[in-house]
Amino acid sequence: MPSASCPAILVAAPASGQGKTTVACALARLHTRQGRRVRVFKCGPDFLDPYWLALASGAPVHQLDLWMTGEADCAQRLHAAAQDADLIIVEGVMGLFDGEPSAADLAQRFGLPLLTVIDAGAMAGTFGALVWGLQTYREGLRFAGVLANRVASNGHAALLEESLRDPAQWQGALMRSETFSLPERHLGLVMSGEMDDAMARLDAAADALAGTRLGQMDAAALQAWSVAFAVPADPVTETPDLLQGLTIAVARDAAFCFIYAANLDCLRAMGARLVFFSPLADTALPDCDALWLPGGYPEIHAATLADNGAMKTAIASHVHAGKPVWAECGGMMALFDELFTAEGERFAMWGLLPGCVTMQKRLAALGPQQIKMPGGTLRGHTFHYSTCSTPLAPATRTEAAPGRKLRGEGEALYVAGPDNKLKASYFHAWFASNPAAAAALFLKDKP
């Protein structure tokens, strides 16, 4: 199979909160509206930005991370996308050089041009110094210019452009506007599905971008960003049919929404049939062999979850029947006896794990981690604002990603129920990092 060439851009920034997601969405929406096939990826572990990116592009959004998903997985996904797409957009994570691996590492490994987005709302001449520093800090990176975000006026934009050492790097300015701002909460962006005007915001952002040099690039101009994506030297092997004939019920609603699209693909590739349900709105589980309770916002919807006694009974019946359950982060939180909000409100939860979880006003844990399971080691990450108190002893704990250090102990893996078929942790797993280990979470005859 030959290499595949496609225009591609990685949207980066000097820090979080600069507007990377807004710009990546605007760029995707603009070119999608013009009839181009756009594929978007998110650098690093992130559940929320992909909802907006998928809405903007009309296509699923997968993660790229040189450690969590693996270099071979990244190469395979990019090569596959390049065969079908007219434009590939990768949204970076945090600041350009933040993290191990960083967005810069990903860009350098695959030769991705970098579009730098900078919140210039409170600067003028320093804008040029910041751009110069980002572009000269590391050799071997390919820059495609800079876009100023949250600019106050045309006069302000002129000052920013004049500060650049290389005027050709100027891709334009997006003015400060509430019409296309993306609202946030404690874990990140508010999900696009929660907002009635989500598409209107994306269209407004695309309209604003259309007035910049960046937004006026046509198909011919995009070729300046062309990247040749080689055939993966170490292709990911075919996923075994370990879940053939198994039906897995997946919680999916506003309270349980932290789901990697690639995790669903991995389960299906192993033969699983997936059915979805809402713990908020439904009163019964679908007919299933196993249950997956992903992360999300149980703390925001605690009152509704507590009031849905029928769902609590249905999940308890599933557990008491000895059927497997995998609960991640928010999914685990709902399984405890009680949940306390950051304001001190108490809610009775599902009572299948003894103890309580308490929301904190500050981040409790963050970072890439891995966990050793019966089927092998799963890679993933942790990111949560709550802590738990339980008499249960952890069956095991996560470990830091290679080259990283944990602050305190790793995340606990709790097991409960008949034959310990209920497994729960704050850890978010990337199933494709070890399909056999992921499959073992849902198989009744595995330890």
Residue whose pair of structure tokens reads 């790793």 in the numeric block: 410
The two tokens of residue 338 are 């009680």
Please list, in sequence order, all residues whose beta carbon lies within 8 angstroms of the beta carbon of residue 190, skipping any fewer than 6 positions away: 48, 182, 183, 184
Nearest residue to 138 (alpha-carbon basis) of 95, 172, 167: 95
Catalytic residues: 329
CA dihedral 134, 138, 139, 141 (to 10 degrees): -60
Bridge partners of 89, per DSSP, are 9, 40
The two tokens of residue 440 are 């073992």
Residue whose pair of structure tokens reads 């960046």 in the numeric block: 214
Please list, in sequence order, all residues whose beta carbon lies within 8 angstroms of the beta carbon of residue 39, skipping any fewer than 6 positions away: 57, 59, 81, 84, 85, 87, 88, 89
The torsion angles phi and psi of 227, rounded to 5 degrees, stand at -130, 135
Nearest residue to 133 (alpha-carbon basis) of 122, 143, 148, 119: 143
- Residue 173 to residue 143: CA distance in whole angstroms: 17
CA dihedral 226, 147, 63, 410 (to 10 degrees): 140
